[in-house]
A and B are shown apart, each in its own frame.
Chain A
Amino acid sequence: MRGSPFPKEVSEALRDAVVGVAGLGGMGSHVATALARTGIGHLVIADFDVVDGSNLFRQCYTPSDVGRPKAEAMRERLLEIEPDLDVVAVDARIGPDNACDVFRGCGIVCEAFDAPDQKAMLVEALLSGDGSVTVVSCSGMAGDGSSNSIVTSRPMRRLYVCGDGTSDASEGFGLTAARVMVCAGHAANMAVRLVLGHDKP
């Protein structure tokens, strides 16, 4: 295993953490990568989709991944980064009926779905559970707006939202790797902060 660059208590807290990533597109693939590199010990990653050639502009995959399930391709990539990572890959659609089961044991789940109704559904499902999960969600990272308009907020006690809140991927410009990664950095950093005991956005 590579050595941790952090003090012992920090690397142990990161190693003991169990974090979920729901959706492995532009946001989720970069969130999962950042969490693995930071030293989070246990990840549950989920997506029902397969890697498409058009995803390579923005998502953390390579041409050899095209046609493979995102969950499987991402699991392999994460293990290349950190061979000791415990990563559970779920190749399935996540809905209100299975969300709590899939992410059981995760103290934090990063919501990284694409469709706004699916985001709201997942947040609702996870926060309706046994009260043990904090959700780090994302809303508004499309277009060519300033990086500085992307913020992390905490609208509910167990919900953090990263993004500019307004720029919708379905309107006009679409999504760039650069701006999506700004937002993914916000989400991954909030997850790390929560693991380390910080609850301020």
Chain B
Amino acid sequence: MRITVNGVCTDVPEGTTAEGLVEIVGMDPSRVAVEVDGDICPRARRGETVLKEGQTVEIVGFVGGG
């Protein structure tokens, strides 16, 4: 199925979860914030959030320093 990830149209397997998508894009799950269709998807819910065709996902990664 096709979803939009960080602005790019992307093919992922049916049933991919938000947690699975973070793994697919190769980002450290502890260092990202994830939003699905405009709503934040907290880490506790990423594993149960099954993505659907056409959804828009934003994954924002953070590096250290502040």
Which residues of A line the B interface, CB within 8 A? 23, 25-28, 111-117, 119-120, 123-125, 127-128, 137-142, 155-157, 159, 161, 163, 165-170, 175, 180
Cβ-closest chain A residue relative to B41: A124
Are the CB atoms of B33 and A167 closer together than 8 Å? no
Name B residues whose Cβ lies closer than 8 Å to a Cβ of A.
6, 28, 30-33, 35, 38, 40, 42-43, 58, 60-66
Among all A-B residue pairs, the 9 with the closest Cβ atoms? A169-B65, A168-B63, A127-B40, A116-B62, A119-B62, A116-B31, A117-B30, A27-B66, A169-B64
18 contacts between A and B (CB under 8 A): A114-B66, A117-B31, A117-B62, A119-B31, A119-B62, A119-B66, A120-B33, A123-B33, A123-B60, A125-B42, A139-B62, A139-B65, A142-B63, A156-B35, A156-B60, A161-B60, A167-B63, A168-B65
For the complex with contacts A127-B35, A139-B65, 5 further pairs of A-B residues with Cβ separation under 8 Å are A116-B28, A139-B63, A165-B61, A167-B65, A170-B64
Q: A128-B40, A141-B65, A170-B64 are in contact. Are A120 and B31 (CB under 8 A)?
A: yes
Within the complex, the shortest CB–CB distance from B18 to chain A, in Å, comes to 12
Complex-state Cα separation, A124 to B30, whole angstroms: 11
Q: Kindly identify which residue among A113, A123, A161 contacts B66, using a CB–CB cutoff of 8 Å.
A: A113
* Chain B nearest Cβ from A156, distance in angstroms: 5
Q: For B38, what are the chain A residues with a Cβ–Cβ distance below 8 Å?
A: 156-157
